[in-house]
Structure 1
Amino acid sequence: MGHGEAFDTAGFTVEVHGTWHETIHPDIPRVGNIGFLVDGTLFHPGDALTVPDTRVDALLLPVHGPWSTTGRLIDYVREVAPRHPYAIHDGALNDTGLAMVGGFLGAGGPGTGAPYDRLAVGAGVDLPAASAQPSA
């Protein structure tokens, strides 16, 4: 699949966004990487950190990786402007790192404009259907 393509699976419509993994370092070749917008409401950017061309309800935000800085994450959340970002890709962070990222991206942070949550392993959240969303 490539950027701009879409497919249906398991009752969901999935749109593909992005082409390349976020840059880690100029000496490390970039590899292909894509993100998925599910039913127009949930966006998983993969490691591409592509900004979708539509407002999303929930953003699955990869908060830690060799390409990641807190400043880049703040800018990315502001640019995507989700109604609610949820932390993912944080398995290498200890409790101090998780608290630090949550502090910068959460209510006490520099104002991404959306509530920020990190779900416990195995926890879930109900998202409203895309058709129930007000347009941005």
Structure 2
Amino acid sequence: MENMLVTRFGHAAVLVETEDARVLLDPGVFSVDEVFELERLDAIVVTHQHPDHLDRSRADALLARNRGALLLADPQTVEQLGAPWRAHRDGDRATFGSTTIAAVGELHAEIAPQLPRVSNVGVLVRSETGPTIFHPGDSYATVPADVDVLALPLSAPWAKVSETIAFAQQVAPAIAFPIHDRTISDAAYDIYWNHVANFGGVADLRRLGQTEATQV
């Protein structure tokens, strides 16, 4: 099943490389500078409008380096950004050869009852000959079938550890790696990671660092 290369670029930013496409997900303010220097991207996908998933101050340089890339985002983000961004709604698909980008979900998880919930559209990257990778953005609400690799949000203002564990169990991937973890101090990281490792039910957990790659 080893047909994709997955590289983390800090917090929620993930580059997925298949035989046919280079797909970048959620380059936000907690992402390392290197992600905004990437070239030859076929698609840039943003799950929602929050700055830790899209750094608008650094995104212009990234877009300038990748003028031919397909730009996909949730509907509310596209309303703010305008063209050439294209709205990506639950059920939508984009195809690059044998690679498909599919949109799943609609809403960001609740942070506090007083705050309006923005749109959040998770992403499935599928390959006909390889695995299916799921990046949920900021929500545990949608659990797609047949996910091989899960980018698991490890900590957030909208989540607690029991929900993170339950989400990992429900998705039941063969492989999982952490995202959304720059909100955790180095001293406390093991607390979150060990709970997922002990109770999440994922056999192959890969504790990828902020600029680390893995073959899946």
Give the shorter-chain TM-score range: 0.7 to 0.9
Report which structure shows greater RCO (CA 8 Å, sep ≥6). 2
Over aligned residues, Cα RMSD in angstroms?
1.7
1:36 equivalent in structure 2: 123
1:56 aligns with 2:143: no
**Partner residue, 1:97:** 188
Which amino acid in structure 2 is aligned with residue 96 of structure 1?
Answer: A
Distance in 1 separating the partners of 2:182 and 2:97? 28
Deviation at 1:120, TM superposition (A): 1.6
- Which residue number corresponds to residue 120 of structure 1? 209
Cα deviations across residues 48-71 of structure 1 (Å, max 9, x unaligned)? Answer: 224343121110011111101000
How many residues align? The count is: 125
* 3-state SS of 1:125 partner: strand
Which protein shows a greater Rg?
A: 2
Partner of 2:20: none
Post-superposition Cα deviations, 1:39-93, rounded to whole Å, max 9, x if no partner, equal 1611000112243431211100111111010000001111111111110110121
Cα-to-partner distance string for 1:96-115 (whole Å, 9 max, x where unaligned): 32101111011xx1252433
SS of match in other structure, 1:118: coil
- Counting only pairs closer than 5 Å after superposition, residues 1-136 of structure 1 correspond to structure 2 as 1-9=88-96, 12-39=99-126, 41-106=132-197, 109-127=198-216
Structure with the higher strand share, 1 or 2: 2
Structure 2: 5+ residue runs without aligned partners? 1-87
Secondary structure of the residue that 1:82 maps to in structure 2? coil
Runs of 4+ in 1 over 4 A off after TM superposition: none
Residue identity matched to 2:108: H
SS in 2 for 1:14: strand
Letter in 2 for 1:18: G
Identity, % of aligned pairs? 30
